[in-house]
Amino acid sequence: MNKSTSGSTLGKLLTKLYVNDFDIIRKHDIPHSHAENVIINLDDFDKGSHWVAINRKYKLYFDSYGRPPPNEVPHDYHFSKKIIEGITQEDCGQLCCLWLHYVNYETPEKFYKLFKSLY
């Protein structure tokens, strides 16, 4: 049974982490969102799937599985191939929130240092 995190739960977490100007969307809505910080569900249907994130100010993309961005994300966005989550884990949404906090208040490098034992 999939216990994926809901968008409303992620929104509350982003607020607690002081991440402003955010949107939580499905990937087909990327062109319609103009928020600086965006969490994206890669499934276009209601069953939910994997959460990823982008920050438009710095043109950064985050996927806890280290995969490249989908075609809907502009091709000039930078991403890390570092894997910080196993395929069976379900923390991708929370990791996206934490990554956005670090992008806005620290650096992405400091975020990845939290997981240095994994790579």
Closest CA to 70 of 90, 50, 56: 50
78-85 contacts at long range (C-beta below 8 A, 24 or more positions apart)? 80/108, 80/112, 82/112, 82/115, 82/118, 82/119, 83/118, 83/119, 84/112, 84/115, 84/118, 84/119
Average pLDDT, the chain: 90
Q: Is the pLDDT of residue 87 over 90?
A: no
Give the domain CATH number at 33. 3.40.395.10
Asked whether residue 49 is assigned to any structural domain, the reply reads yes
Q: Is the pLDDT of residue 19 over 60?
A: yes
Boundaries of domain holding 14:
7-118
Asked whether residue 1 is assigned to any structural domain, the reply reads no
pLDDT of residue 90: 83
Asked whether residue 40 is assigned to any structural domain, the reply reads yes
Overall domain count for the chain: 1
pTM, 2 dp:
0.90
How far, in Å, CA of 9 to CA of 25, rounded?
13
Task: Please name the residue ranges forming H helices in 65-107.
Answer: 92-105
Angle, nearest 10°, between helix axes 92-105 and 7-16?
30
On whether the CB atoms of residues 66 and 83 are closer than 8 A, the answer is yes
Asked whether residue 15 is assigned to any structural domain, the reply reads yes
